[in-house]
Chains A and B, each alone.
Chain A
Amino acid sequence: MTKNDDLLAALGRFSEPALHILISLADGPKHGYAITQDIESLTGQKPGPGTLYGAIARLEARKWIEPLPVEERRRPYRLTASGQKVLKHRLESLRTIARIGRARLAEA
């Protein structure tokens, strides 16, 4: 596990929703509602609003995402450079885990 993985894991029960938010923002800024819809289409599960904004506040505190000016009562968020770095490391780590898991399944 790398230092960046530790940082994401340190979010505890918010680490998975936070990862989903980072992935959702990877292709451009989105507001809360669009993030929710995007996560639902990615994972099949819609994050609850309490969980979503708990994760957003934590990502903002770490400057992994940043808010943009409000557009029609909706505030979009975008991924920062450090957020991209954390996301990239986490996805690399997950790819390694998936590769090992597939290899072990093939051996069994």
Chain B
Amino acid sequence: MTAPRLLRLYPRAWRDRYGDEFLDTVGQEPLQLQQVIDIVSGAIDAWLSADVRGTTRASAASTGGVTMVKSVSVCEKNQTRYTKRDGVVGAGVMLAGTVLFVLLAAFLKRNGWSAAAEAILVNGYLVAMMLSMPFWLTKGQPVKSQIAMIGIPTALLVLIAWINA
């Protein structure tokens, strides 16, 4: 796994703002496992942290020249990316997913699958939230990034639930 490939896991605004210097800091040497883990957790943080998202959008716009034009373009894209409809659809998917998981848990419990029911109740909301992310948080991002950011954690949650059950 190379640094430029891992960089694709980061939001576009982040890459525009820090991408070049990030690659410069990483250098040309092969990455160690610890570095890969650090870069992947940095990507998750870059998606989820309001601080980081705010900085990458705002501060890049004040650096002038080409960077400013690029970041303004990114900001414009981001402003139009999240519409009221996206918010409603995202919330709807999250709520509907949670209700479905609760109903599934109730059905399983009635039929004697108490452990599985409990595992679904504990993880259902988180999985529903992750399934709603393509409609708001990661909307417009490359499919590979979405799979990495949503699919893998969701699969891990399901796996953990299955092991617990």
Verify B52–A74 contact, CB threshold 8 A.
no
Determine the distance from Cα of A1 to Cα of B22 in the docked complex, in whole angstroms. 34
Q: Which B24-39 residues have C-beta < 8 A from chain A?
A: 24-27, 34-35, 37-39
Interface size on B, residues (CB 8 A): 30
Task: Please give, as numbers and ranges, the residues of chain B lying within 8 Å of A54 by CB-CB distance.
Answer: 42, 45-46, 49, 52
Of A57-65, A87-95, A97-105, which binds chain B?
A57-65
CB-contact partner of A53 in B27, B37, B40, B42, under 8 A: B42
Interface of chain A: mostly helix, strand, loop or mixed = helix
Scoring B residues 1 to 43 as 1 if CB is less than 8 Å from chain A, else 0, what string do you get?
0010000000000000010111011110000001101111111
Chain B residues with CB under 8 Å of chain A are 3, 18, 20-22, 24-27, 34-35, 37-43, 45-46, 49, 51-52, 54-56, 59, 63-64, 67
Of the candidates B21, B27, B45, B63, the one whose C-beta lies within 8 Å of that of A50 is B45
CB distance from A49 to the nearest CB of B (A): 5
- Interface with B: A20-28, A30-38, A78-86, which one? A30-38
A74 touches B55 (CB 8 A): no
- Could you tell me if B26 and A49 are in contact, using CB atoms closer than 8 angstroms? yes
Is A51 engaged at the interface, CB distance under 8 Å to the other chain? yes
User: With A48-B38, A49-B35, A53-B42 in contact, do A58 and B51 touch (Cβ < 8 Å)?
Assistant: yes
Given contacts A36-B25, A61-B51, contact A50 B59 (CB under 8 A): no
B25, A49: Cβ atoms closer than 8 Å: yes
Complex-state Cα separation, A50 to B54, whole angstroms: 17
Residues of A within 8 A of B (CB): 31-33, 36, 48-54, 56-58, 60-61, 67, 69-70, 73-75
A48 near B21 with CB under 8 A, answer: no
Please name all residues of chain A whose beta carbon is closer than 8 Å to the beta carbon of B54 when the two chains form the complex: 61
B11 to chain A minimum Cβ distance, whole angstroms, is 11
Q: Which of B20, B38, B49, B56 contacts A49 (CB 8 A)?
A: B38
- Known contacts A49-B39, A50-B43; 19 further A-B pairs (Cβ under 8 A): A48-B35, A48-B42, A49-B25, A49-B42, A51-B38, A52-B25, A53-B18, A53-B22, A56-B18, A57-B51, A57-B56, A58-B51, A60-B55, A60-B59, A67-B63, A69-B63, A73-B20, A74-B21, A75-B21
